[in-house]
Amino acid sequence: MLRFRSNGFPRFCVKFGVLFAIFLRYTITMRTLISFLLIGLLFSPQLRAAQGKHAMAVTSDPYATKAALEILKQGGNAVDAAIAAQWVLNVVEPQSSGIGGGGFFLYYDAVTKQIHAFDGREQAPQDAYPDMFLDENGFPFPYYPDRITGGLAVGVPGTLKLLQVVHSRFGSKKFSFSELFGPAIEVAERGFPVSKRLARYLEEHKKRLKLFPASRQTFFNPEGKSLEVHSLLFMPDLAETFKLVQKEGIRVFYEGEIAKDIAKAVREAPFHPGLMSEDDLSFYRVKERNPIRGRYRQYDVFSMGPPSSGGTTLIETLQILGFFDLAYYGKTADGIHLFSEAQKLAFQDRNHWLADPDYVEIPTEKIVSLEFAEERSQAIRWEYAIPTTQAAMSPLNLGASHTSHLSIVDEWGNMVSYTTTIESVFGSALMVPGRGFLLNNELTDFEAVPKDDKGKPVANAPEGGKRPMSSMTPTFIFREGKPLMIVGAAGGTKIIGAVLNILTNVLDFGMSLNDAMNAPRIINRYGPTEMETFLYENQTIVHDLERRGHPIRHEPSMGIAQAVWFDEDNHAVYGETDPRGEGSALGY
């Protein structure tokens, strides 16, 4: 039997509805109406938290969660559900992820008890070169809008091949790969109400989007006005693309007519034309990587390794914190100082070493070793903050909540933690004409300046065929060999910190998943200590931290996470979506 807990909007509405029902208790018709309203709200796909006995899906959009739940209920497994949800996300969150992007997929096989990590990251075209984002005077193009917009930053998309690979390896085979496009095609053709976030982003990014005729035609009316919240958006071209892949298989995308269209759109983009050829698409391969493993107190942490920096940085931070009693310090100035410093040290190592492991040697084992964490922990001083040399980050590169994360478990106990992206909001803003999908701008995750102050090439410099470093952090937590949590987040380089905040809230502070998700976040990316509002307003703490030398930055919202928590004692599984986003959790 389904049982939902709700908070935020639904809880308020239910309370309001009950009061209203009492007020109108004599009106039979109104009572009936209100009952319907309440039932509707109770089962509204906007529910942020859910409890189930068997399976759970948590995604960043209610349509996608619903699609995942349906697949799970019809006997599909977690992989099938994640695939169906991804295609729905492509439709309803075109700004965040899709067939024009890439991602990292972590899968736990409940039979073999093995964890598999797949890299479907976008790849630079063979013609890419280290100075590609520098102008004729050797200065990087301004990040916004130049570097992030148009063909130059588009990497070869990996999402479609990634999902085809995980389906063929681990799908239940109850659903063919092509069947899993069904729910997305339905939503794309029937239309869906534009969400608040999508409406806001359309307004914010209208100049970029209007540079490209297909993007303009999809998201703006003939007078050039962007779609308003709750207006219906149809994605007929995307539905046709999905149908073509259903009919002809993924080759049509990597070697057929869609590949031709992608290469043409990139090379002939009216703004910053790019370097991609049809060969780049046909050579694209998904890579199975070793998951990154670490130990934090009595828990085992598994996450994504290079070319994502997520796993190593999360585990290094946790293992540094493991040398302190974080629970004892709590969210005091001492506790926040410690928490921020550990992140800062791990981010410093990330920035120095992390890149594509097929191009650069990365001391991964060392970074996630306890010996190294102990050595790094000794750099932390209570009296002062470690100074950083990080130049001020561009206000537009602060990790807005583009990207999407899905956390799913099926009734057999198979788990998926999948983070997927087209990088910036609306990626490159370049939609492939007639195909209905936006292309990523993932190559902006390379360092635009390819050499350091001494003229030495940096690890994460652009290069032909290389994959840019990511921060995506799809993660599993185990206790005594049994699954305890599935977690991951959106939020650019703040993803790692968002996941870290949730994990320490649960594992150190004993918070419920709901409280852990709601709690204000503290993040350090080898720069200022960034704080969400509630903590920032605590001036005693802020002054104490400033006295130790922390520059403090106020951020209203950092990261959008989706998580699942297993309560073995009560044979229950909880799903929780981040109140900072528009997602939902559904289980049974």
Under the rule (CB under 6 A), what is the footprint of ligand GLY? 403, 421, 423, 445, 470-472, 492, 495
CB 74 within 8 A of CB 82: no
Is the CB of 336 or the CB of 495 nearer to ligand GLY?
495
**Shortest spacing between CB 471 and ligand GLY, in angstroms:** 4
How far apart CA 180 and CA 183 sit, in angstroms, is 7
Bridge partners, residue 554, by sequence = 531
403 included as an active-site residue: yes
**Shortest spacing between CB 145 and ligand GLY, in angstroms:** 17
**Shortest spacing between CB 472 and ligand GLY, in angstroms:** 5
Is the CB of 421 or the CB of 428 nearer to ligand GLY?
421
What the block records as the tokens of 202 is 């359309």
- Residue number, nearest CB to ligand GLY: 470
Is the CB of 60 or the CB of 403 nearer to ligand GLY?
403
Phi, psi (rounded to 5 degrees) for 58:
-130, 120
How far apart CA 287 and CA 320 sit, in angstroms, is 30
Burial annotation 442-467 (CB, 10 A radius, 16+ → b, else e): bbbbbbbbbeeeeeeebbbbbbbbbb
CB 380 within 8 A of CB 466: no
From the list 159, 241, 403, 420, the catalytic residue is 403
**Shortest spacing between CB 445 and ligand GLY, in angstroms:** 5
Burial annotation 193-226 (CB, 10 A radius, 16+ → b, else e): bbbebbbebbeebbebbbbbebbbebbbeeeeeb
* Angle CA 404–255–426, to nearest 5: 25
Is the CB of 272 or the CB of 494 nearer to ligand GLY?
494
Omega of the bond leading into 10 within 30 degrees of 0 (cis): no
Question: Going by C-beta distance under 8 Å and a sequence separation of 6 or more, which residues neighbour residue 291?
Answer: 106, 115, 116, 117, 302, 303, 304, 305, 311
**Shortest spacing between CB 146 and ligand GLY, in angstroms:** 18
**Shortest spacing between CB 404 and ligand GLY, in angstroms:** 11
CB 48 within 8 A of CB 583: yes
**Shortest spacing between CB 378 and ligand GLY, in angstroms:** 30
How far apart CA 280 and CA 469 sit, in angstroms, is 19
Is the CB of 326 or the CB of 472 nearer to ligand GLY?
472
CB 227 within 8 A of CB 423: no
Is the CB of 182 or the CB of 427 nearer to ligand GLY?
427
**DSSP-based three-state secondary structure for 586:** strand
Question: Going by C-beta distance under 8 Å and a sequence separation of 6 or more, which residues neighbour residue 368?
Answer: 292, 293, 294, 311, 312, 315, 316, 319
Is the CB of 472 or the CB of 503 nearer to ligand GLY?
472
List active site positions. Answer: 403
